[in-house]
Amino acid sequence: MDLLAIYGAANDAGFQSRCKVAMWLAAQDIAAEPEDTQDHATRVEWAKRVLQDVVTIKPHVLAMQVLRNPQIAAAGAAAPDEHIQFQVNSVIDSIIAIG
């Protein structure tokens, strides 16, 4: 996928929505993780903001984090939901750091 196609996928409303749902599912998992998890307090605070829909990460920025995966970048908006969820889970620390 070329750079303009990646940009297009990052700004596709449907793709952004799927990334947001994947982030919400990851937040649910984080909210239930053990207290001895590294950076637990920060992660739980972020998860609470996601679940209350008060995150600061913009939809296209979240989508770009997902599109870091070359398979997803190649598939664009047609990427399977399971791949999107896997990527969100894989880069969750970056997503948390962004907001």
For the chain, the DSSP string reads --HHHHHHHHT-HHHHHHHHHHHHHHHHHHHTS-TTSTTHHHHHHHHHHHHTT-----HHHHHHHHTTSHHHHHHGGG--HHHHHHHHHHTHHHHHHH-
Q: How many CB atoms lie within 10 A of CB 81?
A: 11
Please count the structural domains in the chain. Answer: 1
pLDDT in tens, 25-67: 999 999 999 999 999 999 999 999 999 999 899 999 999 999 9
What pLDDT is recorded for position 99? 85
Q: Which domain holds residue 44?
A: 3-98
1 has a pLDDT exceeding 80? no
What pLDDT is recorded for position 27? 98
